[in-house]
Structure 1
Protein backbone atom coordinates (compact mmCIF):
# COMPACT_ATOMS: atom_id res chain seq x y z
CA UNK A 1 0.00 0.00 0.00
CA UNK A 2 1.32 3.47 -0.90
CA UNK A 3 1.17 5.77 2.13
CA UNK A 4 -0.60 9.15 1.95
CA UNK A 5 1.61 12.22 1.73
CA UNK A 6 1.26 15.88 2.61
CA UNK A 7 2.30 18.19 -0.22
CA UNK A 8 4.82 20.99 0.31
CA UNK A 9 6.44 23.66 -1.82
CA UNK A 10 10.02 24.71 -1.01
CA UNK A 11 12.13 27.54 -2.39
CA UNK A 12 15.87 27.31 -3.02
CA UNK A 13 18.45 29.97 -2.24
CA UNK A 14 18.47 30.91 -5.95
CA UNK A 15 14.70 31.28 -6.03
CA UNK A 16 13.53 28.02 -7.65
CA UNK A 17 10.26 26.47 -6.43
CA UNK A 18 10.66 22.81 -5.50
CA UNK A 19 7.72 20.42 -5.25
CA UNK A 20 7.88 18.06 -2.27
CA UNK A 21 5.86 15.53 -0.32
CA UNK A 22 6.10 14.70 3.39
CA UNK A 23 5.33 11.37 5.05
CA UNK A 24 5.30 11.49 8.87
CA UNK A 25 7.43 8.95 10.69
CA UNK A 26 6.22 6.09 12.87
CA UNK A 27 4.05 6.89 15.88
CA UNK A 28 6.14 7.61 18.96
CA UNK A 29 9.24 8.63 16.99
CA UNK A 30 8.09 12.02 15.73
CA UNK A 31 10.97 14.48 15.55
CA UNK A 32 13.81 12.01 15.97
CA UNK A 33 14.88 10.95 12.46
CA UNK A 34 13.99 12.39 9.08
CA UNK A 35 14.95 11.32 5.57
CA UNK A 36 15.29 13.51 2.51
CA UNK A 37 14.71 11.37 -0.57
CA UNK A 38 16.46 12.40 -3.80
CA UNK A 39 15.40 10.74 -7.06
CA UNK A 40 17.42 9.94 -10.16
CA UNK A 41 17.47 11.77 -13.50
CA UNK A 42 13.96 12.01 -15.06
CA UNK A 43 12.47 10.69 -11.81
CA UNK A 44 9.90 12.19 -9.46
CA UNK A 45 8.76 11.72 -5.90
CA UNK A 46 5.24 11.26 -7.28
CA UNK A 47 6.02 8.03 -9.17
CA UNK A 48 4.70 4.81 -7.62
CA UNK A 49 8.26 3.44 -7.34
CA UNK A 50 9.52 6.40 -5.32
CA UNK A 51 6.33 6.55 -3.25
CA UNK A 52 6.80 2.90 -2.28
CA UNK A 53 10.41 3.58 -1.23
CA UNK A 54 9.26 6.54 0.84
CA UNK A 55 6.54 4.45 2.48
CA UNK A 56 9.09 1.85 3.61
CA UNK A 57 11.49 4.50 4.92
CA UNK A 58 8.59 6.07 6.82
CA UNK A 59 8.69 3.03 9.08
CA UNK A 60 11.96 4.41 10.48
CA UNK A 61 11.47 8.19 10.34
CA UNK A 62 9.70 10.99 8.58
CA UNK A 63 10.34 11.33 4.86
CA UNK A 64 10.56 14.50 2.77
CA UNK A 65 10.73 13.57 -0.91
CA UNK A 66 11.42 16.21 -3.57
CA UNK A 67 11.34 16.74 -7.29
CA UNK A 68 14.60 18.30 -8.43
CA UNK A 69 14.42 21.48 -10.53
CA UNK A 70 13.20 20.84 -14.04
CA UNK A 71 11.44 17.63 -12.94
CA UNK A 72 7.72 17.05 -12.48
CA UNK A 73 5.98 19.98 -10.81
CA UNK A 74 9.15 21.76 -9.71
CA UNK A 75 10.14 24.95 -11.52
CA UNK A 76 13.38 25.68 -13.32
CA UNK A 77 15.58 23.57 -15.59
CA UNK A 78 17.58 20.47 -14.75
CA UNK A 79 21.35 20.97 -14.58
CA UNK A 80 21.80 17.19 -14.15
CA UNK A 81 23.49 17.28 -10.76
CA UNK A 82 25.03 20.76 -10.50
CA UNK A 83 22.58 23.32 -9.06
CA UNK A 84 20.46 20.48 -7.70
CA UNK A 85 22.56 20.73 -4.52
CA UNK A 86 20.56 23.89 -3.80
CA UNK A 87 17.32 21.93 -4.16
CA UNK A 88 18.54 19.30 -1.71
CA UNK A 89 19.79 21.98 0.68
CA UNK A 90 16.36 23.62 0.73
CA UNK A 91 14.83 20.24 1.60
CA UNK A 92 17.40 19.47 4.30
CA UNK A 93 16.93 22.87 5.90
CA UNK A 94 13.16 22.34 5.86
CA UNK A 95 13.48 18.84 7.34
CA UNK A 96 15.77 20.09 10.11
CA UNK A 97 12.95 22.26 11.43
CA UNK A 98 11.04 19.08 12.27
CA UNK A 99 13.68 16.39 12.87
CA UNK A 100 16.70 16.13 15.15
CA UNK A 101 18.65 14.09 12.60
CA UNK A 102 18.34 14.21 8.82
CA UNK A 103 19.73 11.52 6.52
CA UNK A 104 19.82 12.09 2.76
CA UNK A 105 19.07 9.07 0.56
CA UNK A 106 19.91 9.61 -3.11
CA UNK A 107 19.52 7.39 -6.15
CA UNK A 108 21.73 7.70 -9.26
CA UNK A 109 21.86 11.44 -10.02
CA UNK A 110 20.34 12.00 -6.59
CA UNK A 111 23.21 10.03 -5.07
CA UNK A 112 25.74 12.34 -6.72
CA UNK A 113 23.79 15.35 -5.45
CA UNK A 114 23.63 13.92 -1.91
CA UNK A 115 27.40 13.41 -1.86
CA UNK A 116 28.10 16.92 -3.13
CA UNK A 117 25.54 18.47 -0.80
CA UNK A 118 27.05 16.85 2.30
CA UNK A 119 30.54 17.98 1.25
CA UNK A 120 29.57 21.56 0.35
CA UNK A 121 26.63 22.38 2.64
CA UNK A 122 26.56 19.82 5.46
CA UNK A 123 23.71 19.80 7.96
CA UNK A 124 23.05 16.06 7.70
CA UNK A 125 23.57 13.16 10.10
CA UNK A 126 24.17 10.58 7.38
CA UNK A 127 24.35 10.10 3.61
CA UNK A 128 23.16 7.11 1.58
CA UNK A 129 24.28 7.02 -2.07
CA UNK A 130 22.56 4.31 -4.13
CA UNK A 131 23.71 3.49 -7.69
CA UNK A 132 25.63 6.74 -7.92
CA UNK A 133 28.34 7.77 -10.39
CA UNK A 134 31.84 8.48 -9.11
CA UNK A 135 32.75 10.87 -11.94
CA UNK A 136 31.12 13.00 -14.61
CA UNK A 137 30.74 12.43 -18.37
CA UNK A 138 30.76 8.63 -18.08
CA UNK A 139 29.70 7.04 -21.40
CA UNK A 140 30.93 3.49 -20.97
CA UNK A 141 27.50 1.83 -21.09
CA UNK A 142 24.68 2.05 -23.62
CA UNK A 143 22.17 3.49 -21.12
CA UNK A 144 24.60 6.28 -20.25
CA UNK A 145 25.18 7.07 -23.92
CA UNK A 146 21.41 7.40 -24.24
CA UNK A 147 21.33 9.72 -21.22
CA UNK A 148 23.98 11.94 -22.80
CA UNK A 149 21.98 12.05 -26.03
CA UNK A 150 18.94 13.23 -24.05
CA UNK A 151 21.00 15.94 -22.36
CA UNK A 152 23.07 17.19 -25.29
CA UNK A 153 20.79 17.05 -28.34
CA UNK A 154 17.62 19.08 -29.01
CA UNK A 155 15.68 15.97 -29.99
CA UNK A 156 16.78 14.25 -26.79
CA UNK A 157 15.75 17.20 -24.62
CA UNK A 158 12.37 17.31 -26.37
CA UNK A 159 11.86 13.60 -25.75
CA UNK A 160 12.75 14.02 -22.07
CA UNK A 161 10.30 16.92 -21.76
CA UNK A 162 7.42 15.11 -23.45
CA UNK A 163 7.92 11.59 -22.12
CA UNK A 164 9.36 12.27 -18.66
CA UNK A 165 8.30 15.84 -17.83
CA UNK A 166 11.99 16.70 -17.45
CA UNK A 167 13.14 20.11 -18.70
CA UNK A 168 16.89 20.19 -19.27
CA UNK A 169 19.07 23.29 -19.40
CA UNK A 170 20.99 23.92 -22.64
CA UNK A 171 24.75 24.25 -22.54
CA UNK A 172 27.73 22.82 -20.71
CA UNK A 173 28.67 23.22 -17.06
CA UNK A 174 30.87 26.24 -16.40
CA UNK A 175 32.62 25.69 -14.10
CA UNK A 176 32.51 21.88 -13.89
CA UNK A 177 31.11 20.99 -10.45
CA UNK A 178 32.98 18.99 -7.86
CA UNK A 179 32.88 15.33 -8.91
CA UNK A 180 31.25 12.83 -6.53
CA UNK A 181 34.56 11.03 -5.83
CA UNK A 182 36.09 14.41 -4.95
CA UNK A 183 33.19 15.17 -2.61
CA UNK A 184 33.33 11.79 -0.83
CA UNK A 185 36.38 12.51 1.40
CA UNK A 186 34.88 15.84 2.52
CA UNK A 187 31.81 14.20 4.08
CA UNK A 188 33.56 12.73 7.15
CA UNK A 189 32.91 12.57 10.05
CA UNK A 190 29.31 12.17 8.83
CA UNK A 191 28.61 8.45 8.15
CA UNK A 192 28.46 7.50 4.47
CA UNK A 193 26.77 4.41 3.04
CA UNK A 194 27.44 3.50 -0.60
CA UNK A 195 25.05 0.96 -2.14
CA UNK A 196 25.61 -0.47 -5.61
CA UNK A 197 24.46 -3.49 -7.56
CA UNK A 198 26.74 -5.86 -9.42
CA UNK A 199 24.16 -5.92 -12.24
CA UNK A 200 23.94 -2.13 -12.70
CA UNK A 201 23.62 -1.43 -16.43
CA UNK A 202 24.29 2.32 -16.08
CA UNK A 203 27.34 2.56 -13.79
CA UNK A 204 29.53 -0.51 -13.31
CA UNK A 205 30.77 -1.47 -9.87
CA UNK A 206 34.04 0.42 -10.36
CA UNK A 207 32.12 3.63 -9.58
CA UNK A 208 31.14 2.37 -6.13
CA UNK A 209 34.70 1.26 -5.40
CA UNK A 210 36.09 4.63 -6.51
CA UNK A 211 33.68 6.43 -4.17
CA UNK A 212 34.44 4.11 -1.27
CA UNK A 213 38.20 4.33 -1.71
CA UNK A 214 38.04 8.13 -1.86
CA UNK A 215 35.84 8.42 1.24
CA UNK A 216 37.05 8.56 4.83
CA UNK A 217 35.69 6.72 7.85
CA UNK A 218 32.97 6.21 8.90
CA UNK A 219 32.02 4.61 5.59
CA UNK A 220 30.36 1.40 4.37
CA UNK A 221 30.02 -0.24 0.97
CA UNK A 222 27.21 -2.66 0.24
CA UNK A 223 27.59 -4.56 -3.02
CA UNK A 224 24.17 -6.04 -3.77
CA UNK A 225 24.18 -9.29 -5.82
CA UNK A 226 21.86 -9.15 -8.83
CA UNK A 227 20.79 -5.59 -8.08
CA UNK A 228 20.26 -3.37 -11.11
CA UNK A 229 20.01 0.40 -11.08
CA UNK A 230 18.54 2.93 -8.66
CA UNK A 231 14.87 3.11 -7.63
CA UNK A 232 13.52 0.64 -10.17
CA UNK A 233 15.61 -2.20 -8.72
CA UNK A 234 15.27 -1.34 -5.03
CA UNK A 235 13.48 -4.01 -3.01
CA UNK A 236 11.60 -3.36 0.24
CA UNK A 237 14.22 -5.46 2.02
CA UNK A 238 17.05 -3.21 0.81
CA UNK A 239 15.15 -0.06 1.83
CA UNK A 240 14.47 -1.53 5.27
CA UNK A 241 18.19 -2.24 5.69
CA UNK A 242 18.94 1.36 4.71
CA UNK A 243 16.35 2.49 7.26
CA UNK A 244 17.97 0.42 10.01
CA UNK A 245 21.44 1.72 9.08
CA UNK A 246 20.13 5.27 9.30
CA UNK A 247 18.72 4.78 12.80
CA UNK A 248 22.29 4.17 14.00
CA UNK A 249 23.54 7.59 12.90
CA UNK A 250 24.31 9.94 15.77
CA UNK A 251 23.05 13.47 16.38
CA UNK A 252 25.36 16.18 15.10
Structure 2
Protein backbone atom coordinates (compact mmCIF):
# COMPACT_ATOMS: atom_id res chain seq x y z
CA UNK A 1 0.00 0.00 0.00
CA UNK A 2 2.81 2.40 0.83
CA UNK A 3 4.36 1.61 -2.56
CA UNK A 4 1.21 2.64 -4.40
CA UNK A 5 1.01 5.88 -2.44
CA UNK A 6 4.61 6.72 -3.30
CA UNK A 7 3.98 6.10 -7.00
CA UNK A 8 1.03 8.44 -7.28
CA UNK A 9 2.87 11.72 -6.68
CA UNK A 10 5.62 10.63 -9.07
CA UNK A 11 3.02 9.71 -11.69
CA UNK A 12 1.28 13.08 -11.25
CA UNK A 13 4.57 14.96 -11.57
CA UNK A 14 5.39 12.98 -14.69
CA UNK A 15 2.06 13.80 -16.26
CA UNK A 16 2.51 17.48 -15.39
CA UNK A 17 5.97 17.55 -16.96
CA UNK A 18 4.73 15.85 -20.10
CA UNK A 19 1.83 18.30 -20.30
CA UNK A 20 4.18 21.24 -19.84
CA UNK A 21 6.50 19.91 -22.53
CA UNK A 22 3.59 19.51 -24.96
CA UNK A 23 2.42 23.07 -24.28
CA UNK A 24 5.97 24.36 -24.88
CA UNK A 25 6.26 22.45 -28.14
CA UNK A 26 2.90 23.76 -29.32
CA UNK A 27 3.80 27.34 -28.38
CA UNK A 28 7.17 27.07 -30.11
CA UNK A 29 5.50 25.67 -33.21
CA UNK A 30 2.95 28.47 -33.24
CA UNK A 31 5.72 31.04 -32.69
CA UNK A 32 7.78 29.51 -35.49
CA UNK A 33 4.88 29.51 -37.92
CA UNK A 34 3.85 33.01 -36.87
CA UNK A 35 7.34 34.48 -37.24
CA UNK A 36 7.78 32.81 -40.62
CA UNK A 37 4.47 34.26 -41.80
CA UNK A 38 5.26 37.73 -40.46
CA UNK A 39 8.74 37.75 -42.00
CA UNK A 40 7.30 36.80 -45.37
CA UNK A 41 4.53 39.38 -44.97
CA UNK A 42 7.05 42.16 -44.18
CA UNK A 43 9.97 41.34 -46.45
CA UNK A 44 8.41 39.45 -49.35
CA UNK A 45 5.21 41.35 -50.15
CA UNK A 46 3.30 40.95 -53.39
CA UNK A 47 5.19 43.80 -55.15
CA UNK A 48 2.25 44.20 -57.55
CA UNK A 49 3.61 47.31 -59.29
CA UNK A 50 7.18 47.36 -58.04
CA UNK A 51 8.57 45.67 -61.14
CA UNK A 52 6.63 47.79 -63.65
CA UNK A 53 8.77 50.87 -64.27
CA UNK A 54 6.60 52.23 -67.07
CA UNK A 55 3.42 52.07 -64.97
CA UNK A 56 5.14 53.81 -62.06
CA UNK A 57 6.54 56.56 -64.30
CA UNK A 58 3.09 57.42 -65.66
CA UNK A 59 1.50 57.04 -62.22
CA UNK A 60 3.86 59.65 -60.74
CA UNK A 61 3.19 62.06 -63.60
CA UNK A 62 -0.59 61.54 -63.31
CA UNK A 63 -0.35 62.37 -59.58
CA UNK A 64 1.73 65.48 -60.33
CA UNK A 65 0.39 66.83 -63.64
CA UNK A 66 2.58 69.95 -63.41
CA UNK A 67 5.50 67.64 -64.28
CA UNK A 68 4.00 66.49 -67.59
CA UNK A 69 5.79 68.96 -69.91
CA UNK A 70 9.13 68.04 -68.35
CA UNK A 71 8.37 64.30 -68.49
CA UNK A 72 7.19 64.53 -72.12
CA UNK A 73 10.42 66.32 -73.02
CA UNK A 74 12.48 63.54 -71.39
CA UNK A 75 10.62 60.91 -73.38
CA UNK A 76 10.90 62.81 -76.68
CA UNK A 77 14.65 63.05 -76.25
CA UNK A 78 15.01 59.45 -75.00
CA UNK A 79 16.65 60.87 -71.90
CA UNK A 80 15.81 57.96 -69.56
CA UNK A 81 18.59 55.41 -69.94
CA UNK A 82 19.17 52.04 -68.30
CA UNK A 83 22.30 50.82 -66.63
CA UNK A 84 23.10 47.62 -64.75
CA UNK A 85 25.78 46.71 -62.23
CA UNK A 86 26.75 43.45 -60.55
CA UNK A 87 26.77 43.74 -56.79
CA UNK A 88 29.35 41.98 -54.56
CA UNK A 89 26.64 39.38 -53.84
CA UNK A 90 26.61 38.49 -57.54
CA UNK A 91 23.13 39.92 -58.07
CA UNK A 92 22.45 42.17 -61.05
CA UNK A 93 20.91 45.51 -60.13
CA UNK A 94 19.30 48.12 -62.34
CA UNK A 95 19.16 51.91 -62.33
CA UNK A 96 17.83 54.64 -64.60
CA UNK A 97 20.01 57.64 -65.27
CA UNK A 98 19.26 61.03 -66.80
CA UNK A 99 21.93 63.44 -67.98
CA UNK A 100 21.86 67.04 -66.82
CA UNK A 101 20.68 69.68 -69.32
CA UNK A 102 24.32 70.87 -69.53
CA UNK A 103 27.59 69.06 -68.76
CA UNK A 104 28.21 69.15 -65.00
CA UNK A 105 29.74 67.18 -62.18
CA UNK A 106 26.66 67.65 -59.99
CA UNK A 107 24.84 64.37 -59.25
CA UNK A 108 21.65 63.51 -57.36
CA UNK A 109 21.30 59.86 -56.35
CA UNK A 110 17.61 59.31 -55.57
CA UNK A 111 16.43 56.34 -53.50
CA UNK A 112 12.84 55.04 -53.60
CA UNK A 113 10.69 53.51 -50.88
CA UNK A 114 9.15 50.16 -49.94
CA UNK A 115 7.45 48.22 -52.80
CA UNK A 116 8.45 50.94 -55.28
CA UNK A 117 11.14 51.40 -57.94
CA UNK A 118 13.37 54.16 -59.25
CA UNK A 119 10.55 55.70 -61.31
CA UNK A 120 8.76 56.42 -58.04
CA UNK A 121 11.32 59.18 -57.51
CA UNK A 122 10.58 61.07 -60.74
CA UNK A 123 8.85 63.91 -58.88
CA UNK A 124 12.02 64.43 -56.82
CA UNK A 125 14.11 63.99 -59.98
CA UNK A 126 12.32 66.98 -61.52
CA UNK A 127 13.64 69.25 -58.76
CA UNK A 128 17.25 68.25 -59.26
CA UNK A 129 17.08 68.19 -63.05
CA UNK A 130 15.87 71.78 -63.05
CA UNK A 131 18.74 72.55 -60.67
CA UNK A 132 21.15 71.26 -63.32
CA UNK A 133 22.00 67.83 -61.84
CA UNK A 134 22.72 64.49 -63.45
CA UNK A 135 20.36 61.91 -61.96
CA UNK A 136 20.73 58.28 -60.94
CA UNK A 137 17.61 56.39 -59.80
CA UNK A 138 18.47 52.85 -58.69
CA UNK A 139 16.01 50.02 -58.12
CA UNK A 140 16.79 48.65 -54.67
CA UNK A 141 17.38 44.96 -53.98
CA UNK A 142 14.30 42.88 -54.99
CA UNK A 143 12.58 45.95 -56.46
CA UNK A 144 12.08 47.09 -60.04
CA UNK A 145 14.48 45.30 -62.37
CA UNK A 146 17.01 44.53 -59.65
CA UNK A 147 17.51 40.95 -58.55
CA UNK A 148 17.02 39.85 -54.96
CA UNK A 149 14.89 37.66 -52.75
CA UNK A 150 13.57 39.97 -50.03
CA UNK A 151 13.25 43.60 -48.95
CA UNK A 152 16.21 44.77 -46.86
CA UNK A 153 14.58 47.80 -45.15
CA UNK A 154 17.49 50.06 -46.05
CA UNK A 155 20.14 48.22 -44.04
CA UNK A 156 21.95 45.99 -46.52
CA UNK A 157 20.64 48.39 -49.17
CA UNK A 158 23.15 50.92 -47.88
CA UNK A 159 25.94 48.77 -49.32
CA UNK A 160 24.18 48.61 -52.71
CA UNK A 161 23.69 52.38 -52.73
CA UNK A 162 27.37 52.89 -51.92
CA UNK A 163 28.16 50.80 -54.99
CA UNK A 164 25.82 53.00 -57.04
CA UNK A 165 27.65 56.05 -55.66
CA UNK A 166 30.86 54.70 -57.19
CA UNK A 167 29.09 54.06 -60.50
CA UNK A 168 27.64 57.59 -60.55
CA UNK A 169 30.95 59.17 -59.64
CA UNK A 170 32.66 57.28 -62.45
CA UNK A 171 29.95 58.01 -65.03
CA UNK A 172 29.40 61.70 -64.29
CA UNK A 173 32.74 62.73 -62.81
CA UNK A 174 34.99 65.35 -64.35
CA UNK A 175 38.66 65.21 -63.39
CA UNK A 176 37.89 62.10 -61.36
CA UNK A 177 35.16 63.31 -59.01
CA UNK A 178 31.61 64.61 -58.72
CA UNK A 179 29.63 66.63 -56.20
CA UNK A 180 26.84 64.39 -55.01
CA UNK A 181 23.66 64.61 -52.94
CA UNK A 182 21.72 61.54 -51.77
CA UNK A 183 17.96 61.99 -51.40
CA UNK A 184 15.58 59.26 -50.23
CA UNK A 185 11.88 58.94 -49.41
CA UNK A 186 10.43 56.56 -46.77
CA UNK A 187 12.48 53.32 -46.87
CA UNK A 188 14.75 55.17 -49.30
CA UNK A 189 15.24 57.85 -46.64
CA UNK A 190 16.12 55.13 -44.13
CA UNK A 191 18.61 53.79 -46.69
CA UNK A 192 20.18 57.22 -47.18
CA UNK A 193 20.49 57.68 -43.41
CA UNK A 194 22.10 54.24 -43.10
CA UNK A 195 24.60 55.27 -45.78
CA UNK A 196 25.32 58.53 -43.94
CA UNK A 197 26.85 56.75 -40.97
CA UNK A 198 29.50 54.99 -43.05
CA UNK A 199 32.95 56.26 -43.98
CA UNK A 200 32.19 58.15 -47.19
CA UNK A 201 34.19 59.65 -50.06
CA UNK A 202 34.65 63.40 -50.19
CA UNK A 203 32.42 63.74 -53.26
CA UNK A 204 29.33 63.08 -51.13
CA UNK A 205 28.38 66.59 -50.04
CA UNK A 206 24.98 66.30 -48.35
CA UNK A 207 21.83 64.26 -47.74
CA UNK A 208 18.06 64.78 -47.84
CA UNK A 209 15.82 62.32 -46.01
CA UNK A 210 12.04 62.48 -46.38
CA UNK A 211 9.94 60.60 -43.77
CA UNK A 212 12.45 57.89 -42.89
CA UNK A 213 12.04 55.70 -39.79
CA UNK A 214 14.28 55.41 -36.73
CA UNK A 215 14.80 51.65 -37.14
CA UNK A 216 13.25 48.63 -38.80
CA UNK A 217 12.42 47.36 -35.30
CA UNK A 218 10.50 50.52 -34.40
CA UNK A 219 8.63 50.51 -37.72
CA UNK A 220 7.65 46.84 -37.48
CA UNK A 221 6.69 47.18 -33.82
CA UNK A 222 4.28 49.96 -34.72
CA UNK A 223 2.83 48.03 -37.66
CA UNK A 224 2.47 44.87 -35.54
CA UNK A 225 0.42 46.85 -33.03
CA UNK A 226 -1.62 48.90 -35.53
CA UNK A 227 -2.43 46.13 -38.03
CA UNK A 228 -2.62 43.06 -35.82
CA UNK A 229 -3.07 44.40 -32.28
CA UNK A 230 -0.06 42.42 -31.08
CA UNK A 231 2.81 43.37 -28.73
CA UNK A 232 6.45 43.11 -29.81
CA UNK A 233 7.21 40.18 -27.50
CA UNK A 234 7.64 37.41 -28.44
CA UNK A 235 6.74 37.50 -32.14
CA UNK A 236 8.94 40.41 -33.22
CA UNK A 237 11.93 38.95 -31.37
CA UNK A 238 11.47 35.60 -33.09
CA UNK A 239 10.91 37.27 -36.47
CA UNK A 240 14.07 39.34 -36.11
CA UNK A 241 16.09 36.26 -35.15
CA UNK A 242 14.71 34.40 -38.17
CA UNK A 243 15.63 37.36 -40.40
CA UNK A 244 19.20 37.15 -39.07
CA UNK A 245 19.40 33.45 -39.92
CA UNK A 246 17.70 33.72 -43.31
CA UNK A 247 18.89 37.08 -44.65
CA UNK A 248 21.91 38.03 -42.55
CA UNK A 249 20.56 41.04 -40.63
CA UNK A 250 18.27 41.76 -37.69
CA UNK A 251 15.58 44.39 -37.18
CA UNK A 252 17.37 46.24 -34.37
CA UNK A 253 20.59 46.26 -36.41
CA UNK A 254 18.84 48.20 -39.19
CA UNK A 255 18.96 51.51 -37.34
CA UNK A 256 19.07 54.82 -39.22
CA UNK A 257 18.95 56.46 -35.78
CA UNK A 258 22.36 55.01 -34.85
CA UNK A 259 23.75 55.80 -38.28
CA UNK A 260 22.78 59.49 -38.35
CA UNK A 261 24.44 59.92 -34.96
CA UNK A 262 27.71 59.10 -36.75
CA UNK A 263 27.10 61.44 -39.68
CA UNK A 264 28.90 64.79 -39.82
CA UNK A 265 27.89 65.72 -43.36
CA UNK A 266 24.91 68.07 -43.83
CA UNK A 267 21.41 66.57 -43.81
CA UNK A 268 17.95 68.01 -44.44
CA UNK A 269 15.07 66.23 -42.66
CA UNK A 270 11.55 66.40 -44.15
CA UNK A 271 8.42 64.91 -42.57
CA UNK A 272 4.66 65.41 -42.83
CA UNK A 273 3.08 66.32 -39.50
CA UNK A 274 0.13 63.96 -40.13
CA UNK A 275 2.26 60.94 -40.93
CA UNK A 276 1.16 57.90 -38.93
CA UNK A 277 2.73 55.16 -41.07
CA UNK A 278 6.22 56.38 -40.16
CA UNK A 279 5.09 58.37 -37.12
CA UNK A 280 5.88 62.07 -37.16
CA UNK A 281 7.39 61.67 -33.67
CA UNK A 282 10.32 59.80 -35.23
CA UNK A 283 11.52 63.06 -36.81
CA UNK A 284 12.39 64.59 -33.43
CA UNK A 285 14.46 61.57 -32.39
CA UNK A 286 16.34 61.47 -35.68
CA UNK A 287 16.97 65.20 -35.74
CA UNK A 288 18.22 65.21 -32.14
CA UNK A 289 20.62 62.35 -32.87
CA UNK A 290 22.19 64.02 -35.92
CA UNK A 291 25.19 66.30 -35.26
CA UNK A 292 25.39 69.63 -37.05
CA UNK A 293 25.13 70.70 -39.84
CA UNK A 294 21.45 69.89 -40.26
CA UNK A 295 18.07 71.45 -41.04
CA UNK A 296 14.45 70.33 -41.04
CA UNK A 297 11.20 71.18 -42.75
CA UNK A 298 7.84 69.98 -41.45
CA UNK A 299 5.28 69.63 -44.22
CA UNK A 300 1.96 70.91 -42.82
CA UNK A 301 -0.98 68.53 -43.10
CA UNK A 302 0.92 65.84 -45.04
CA UNK A 303 0.53 62.11 -44.46
CA UNK A 304 3.26 59.62 -45.30
CA UNK A 305 5.44 60.42 -48.32
CA UNK A 306 3.03 63.10 -49.58
CA UNK A 307 4.99 66.24 -48.72
CA UNK A 308 5.96 66.95 -52.34
CA UNK A 309 2.46 66.20 -53.61
CA UNK A 310 0.89 68.59 -51.08
CA UNK A 311 3.47 71.39 -51.31
CA UNK A 312 5.53 71.00 -54.51
CA UNK A 313 6.74 74.61 -54.65
CA UNK A 314 7.73 74.76 -50.97
CA UNK A 315 9.32 71.31 -51.14
CA UNK A 316 11.48 72.27 -54.12
CA UNK A 317 12.41 75.59 -52.50
CA UNK A 318 13.59 73.93 -49.28
CA UNK A 319 15.61 71.33 -51.18
CA UNK A 320 17.18 73.93 -53.44
CA UNK A 321 18.06 76.26 -50.57
CA UNK A 322 19.63 73.47 -48.49
CA UNK A 323 21.52 71.64 -51.22
CA UNK A 324 22.66 74.92 -52.75
CA UNK A 325 24.63 75.66 -49.58
CA UNK A 326 26.88 72.66 -50.20
CA UNK A 327 26.81 72.18 -53.99
CA UNK A 328 27.11 75.37 -56.01
CA UNK A 329 24.20 75.76 -58.43
CA UNK A 330 25.63 78.66 -60.40
CA UNK A 331 28.20 76.78 -62.49
CA UNK A 332 28.19 73.84 -64.87
CA UNK A 333 31.63 72.47 -64.08
CA UNK A 334 33.63 73.23 -60.97
Where on the TM-score scale, by shorter chain, does this alignment land: which range?
Answer: 0.7 to 0.9
Q: 2:98 aligns with which of 3, 20, 23?
A: 23
The CA deviation string for residues 120-154 of structure 1, in whole angstroms up to 9 with x for no partner, is: 1423211111000012322465598559x9xx9xx
SS at match of 1:221: strand
Which whole-Å CA distance do the structure 1 matches of 2:98 and 2:141 have between them? 21
- Which structure is richer in relative contact order (CA contacts within 8 A, separation 6 or more)? 1
Structure richer in strand, relative to its length: 1
| 1:132 correspondence with 2:222 | no
Q: Indicate which of 218, 226, 250 corresponds to 2:301.
A: 226
Q: Which residue of 1 aligns with 2:129?
A: 58
User: Which residue number corresponds to residue 82 of structure 2?
Assistant: 7
1:203 to partner: Cα distance:
1.7
Q: Secondary structure in 1 aligned to 2:301?
A: coil
What is the rounded CA distance, in whole Å, between the counterparts of 1:144 and 1:184 in structure 2? 26
Deviation at 1:210, TM superposition (A): 0.5
Given that 2:95 and 2:139 are in contact with CA atoms closer than 8 Å, whether structure 1 keeps it comes out as yes
Distance in 1 of aligned mates of 2:250 and 2:221: 23
Cα shift at 1:46: 2.7
Q: CA offsets per residue over residues 76-107 of structure 1, 9 Å max, x none?
A: 12222221112211111111121421110011
Equivalence for 2:279:
204
| The one of 85, 106, 116 aligned to 1:33 | 106
Query: Aligned ranges for residues 162-241 of structure 1 at < 5 Å?
Result: 173-174=249-250, 176-188=252-264, 190-230=265-305, 232-235=306-309, 236-237=312-313, 238-241=315-318
- RMSD of Structure 2 on Structure 1 (CA): 2.8
How big is the shift at 1:17? 1.6
Supply the distance in 1 between the matched residues of 2:251 and 2:216 (Cα, whole angstroms). Answer: 13
Aligned partner of 1:115 among 165, 188, 193: 193
2:154 is matched with which residue?
81
d(CA) in 2 for partners of 1:208, 1:24: 33
Runs of 4+ residues deviating >3 angstroms: 139-147, 169-172
TM-score after normalising by structure 1 = 0.80
Give a deviation string over 1:44-72, Cα, whole Å, max 9, x none: 1134xx22321232112111001101001
Higher Rg: 2
* Corresponding residue for residue 118 of structure 2: 45
From the two aligned structures, give the one with the greater helix fraction.
2
2:139 to 67, 90, 107: 67
User: In the alignment, is the contact (CA less than 8 A) between 2:158 and 2:194 conserved in 1?
Assistant: yes
